[in-house]
Each structure stands twice: as C-alpha cells, then as structure tokens.
Amino acid sequence: MEYIKSLILGLVQGLTEFIPVSSSGHLVLSMHFLNIDMPGLTFETFVHLGSLVAVFIYFRKMLLDLFRSLVDFKNPELLPNRKICLWLLISTLVTGVLGLIFKDVFKSLFEKPLFVACMIGVTGFILFFSDKIKKGNLNSSDLNVKKSIFIGLGQALAITPGISRSGTTITFALFSGLDRKSAASFSFLLSIPAILGANIADFKSLLNIETYMIINYIIGFIAAFASGYLVISWLIKLIINAKMFYFSYYCWGVSLLCIILLIFF
C-alpha cells in the first residue's frame, strides 16, 4: 500500500467516522476504486484508533468526570455520571453480543461494494428523518435500560458497512428523547468501547502486520486522528441545529454515483 493511499484512507476514515456518512462504507468504496488490497479489516480497525484518540482528547473532561464518578462511588452528586456509565455499558453489551453473533455476516458484507453503496443511500434516509424527530429534553443520565438497549441496537445495525454509526446512534438517541447535544455526546462516548472492542477482536491480525507495512498504518492512524479531531465540534453544532439533512444529499449522491460506476464500468 503506497504512503499516499494510506494518507487518503486515513483522512477518509477520520472525516467520515464523525461526519454521519459511514466511515466503513467510504473505506470499502475508496479501496475498491483505488484498487487497494486491504488485509481483512486490519487497516480499517487500526485507523479507527486514530479516531478514538481524537474522541479521548476532545471529551477528556467529560471522560475524567465519568471516571471520577466510578472511583468516588459513594458521592451522591456524581450519581448522574454513574448512570451515564451504566447506560453506555448496556448499549455496548447489546452491540457486542449482536456483533459477535452476526460477525461472519457483517464481515462478508465488507467484500460487496455494490451493497455498501446501496447502504450509504439508506444512511441518507436515516439522516434526513433524524432532523424531523420531535425535540427531546432528556440528557444522557435520564436514559433507562430500555432506551439504552434501543440505542445499542442502533449501533449494532451500523456495523453494516455503509450504515453510519454516528448517524444511526444519534438518530436512535433522538428517538429515545435525548436533547440533540446529549444525543451527540452519548454517540461519541459510545464509539469508545465500540472501537476498542473491534481492535481487541482483531488483535491477532494487528500483531501479524508485515514490518514494511507498519509505516503505512501509522500514516493512516495520524491522518484519521487529525481529520477526526477537526470535525467533532463542527458536527456537534450541526446536530444541535438539526442540520444533519445536509449530509443526506451527499449520501444519496455518493450512493447513486457509486452504483452507476459499479454496474456500468
């Protein structure tokens, strides 16, 4: 894999991990059209770590507060943060269980660019209707078991390449009654265990990376981190102002263009 291609894929992943247009879908299609032979899901899994670092840095204060609530467990003032940790855990468990059950199915879909292109079109509809959802007034600590499971199901659905993880989890969170800022924050926090879980599942493959390929992976990692960090605050503002529908038109355009190219060329 040439350095420039690693850079492009890293930028694509970093931007589209948080912009709700499906990072996995864009990576699959980018690799197809750039004629890049990726060893399984290893490269994608590794560059996701760059996005994870971006989340850690951007939400460092919130993450520290959540950690303190678990350490100082008897402090009643920290109860809302402990509740958030519980809801994140429940959503993650739902995603993890379904991800393991349907692992082979999801993995096979990464080798079907036409299917992926169609799913990006589906993401467009998810985003379009997300802005039509009635404004909620709950924050993340106000969730319950049922709503946490519901959001976890949304994230599990987004394992499908072409379905945006951030777009789907934010939409499911909005349906659960969260206000838009809380829905965005919960979605970003939920990405942490999801990305870590994917890397743990693919750990053996990461250890077997060829030595000459390491620099390519590092370039992709850095590009994903830098581009991901730059778009987080911008995206949160769009979500708060119910402007995600802009990305619907982008998804529909990319989907249609790729379908045409894949079928006729």
Q: What is the mean pLDDT of each run of 10 residues along the chain (265 residues)?
A: 77 81 88 71 75 89 93 89 96 94 90 96 95 90 96 95 94 95 92 79 65 80 89 84 88 97 92
**What pLDDT, on the 0 to 100 scale, is given for residue 205?**
64
Q: At what angle do helices 145-157 and 79-101 cross, to 10 degrees?
A: 40
Taking the C-alpha atoms of residue 35 and residue 220, their distance in angstroms, rounded to an integer, is: 17
Residue 186 burial (10 A CB sphere; 0-12, 13-18, 19+): buried
Alpha-helical segments (H) within the chain: 3-18, 23-33, 42-58, 60-71, 79-101, 103-109, 113-130, 145-157, 165-175, 180-201, 203-207, 214-240, 245-264
**What pLDDT, on the 0 to 100 scale, is given for residue 78?**
92
Indicate if the alpha-carbon torsion angle 9, 11, 16, 18 is positive or negative: positive
Taking the C-alpha atoms of residue 203 and residue 205, their distance in angstroms, rounded to an integer, is: 5
Closest by CA position to 191, among listed 6, 12, 53, 40: 53
**What pLDDT, on the 0 to 100 scale, is given for residue 206?**
60
**What pLDDT, on the 0 to 100 scale, is given for residue 232?**
87
**What pLDDT, on the 0 to 100 scale, is given for residue 41?**
55
**What pLDDT, on the 0 to 100 scale, is given for residue 212?**
65
Contacts of 113 (CB under 8 A, 6+ apart): 28, 29, 32, 258, 262
**What pLDDT, on the 0 to 100 scale, is given for residue 182?**
94
**What pLDDT, on the 0 to 100 scale, is given for residue 251?**
96
